[in-house]
Amino acid sequence: MAIVVRRDAGIYGYEASLRRGGFGLIAGADEAGRGACAGPLVAGAVILKPGKGGEIPGLADSKLLTASARERVYDQILKRALAWTVVSVEADECDRLGMHHADLAGLRRALLRLSPAAEFALTDGFSVDGLGMPNLAIWKGDRVAACVAAASVVAKVTRDRIMADWHTDLPDYAFDIHKGYCTPLHQERLEEHGPSTIHRMCFENVRRTIKVNAL
């Protein structure tokens, strides 16, 4: 099936084109935390309602929104979405699978847990197999497809809240500030305290701090 989306169609253009092609339940999926060296990878999936009822005020790629704007958009998504899910792939599974496969596993699980089930899936960046439905990977999908943008917001807000909770248990690492990403502050705390139980050993900068602390 050829998907034709006009350049001026806006962020809801992909869904509109797919509905014209006969697909009613269109899901978007995206993840947060792929590049972090601590904490879970979190994947979200969202099916938006057709028409005005599914339009989310202020919806955009989660990375383009402030934290407060993401929270507002998140609340609207949960109120207006036909269905949504979010799943976590914990650090030990990320280590076991590797980050690319952990990413695909998270997206697959989120999409397959939607109820009602999707008829077509749009994913950000990578094609996901094993879905049992037609799907399309879109480069920078969180910027051009509304359901993918919505999934990016759900994943990001959920993950940020998880990392804030981990800060309560592990305050030495400042997870409330950097959310587990590889910032200078995070590296400084890693080298001072060594890896925690939620650090990903598949990241070289984490493994290196084990040697630093051993010395």
pLDDT digits (tens, 9 = 90+) for 40-59: 999 999 999 998 889 999 99
Segment holding 44, helix H or strand E: strand 41-48
Q: What is the pTM for the complete model shown? A: 0.93
Q: What is the mean predicted confidence (pLDDT) over 76-83?
A: 96
Residues 6+ apart with CB under 8 A from 77: 46, 56, 59, 84, 150, 153, 154
The rounded distance, in Å, linking the Cα atoms of 39 and 120 is 30
Q: Other C-beta atoms within 10 Å of 134: how many?
A: 13
Crossing angle for the helix pair 184-193 and 204-214, nearest 10 degrees?
40
Alpha helices in the chain (DSSP H): 13-20, 67-80, 91-97, 99-112, 141-144, 146-169, 175-178, 184-193, 204-214
Q: Tell me: pLDDT of 215 over 80.
A: no
Closest CA to 28 of 146, 176, 184, 179: 146
DSSP assigned state of 122: E
- Residue 207 corresponds to which amino acid? R
Mean pLDDT for the chain overall: 93
User: What percent of the chain has a predicted confidence (pLDDT) above 70?
Assistant: 93
Q: Tell me: pLDDT of 15 over 90.
A: yes
CATH number of this structure's domain 13-160, picked from the four choices 2.30.30.760, 3.30.420.10, 3.60.15.10, 3.20.20.70: 3.30.420.10
Please report which confidence band the pLDDT of residue 212 belongs to, taking 50, 70 and 90 as the band edges: low
The rounded distance, in Å, linking the Cα atoms of 143 and 30 is 11
* Tokens 């792939």, residue located: 89
Closest CA to 193 of 177, 209, 182: 209
Q: What is the mean predicted confidence (pLDDT) over 21-25?
A: 94
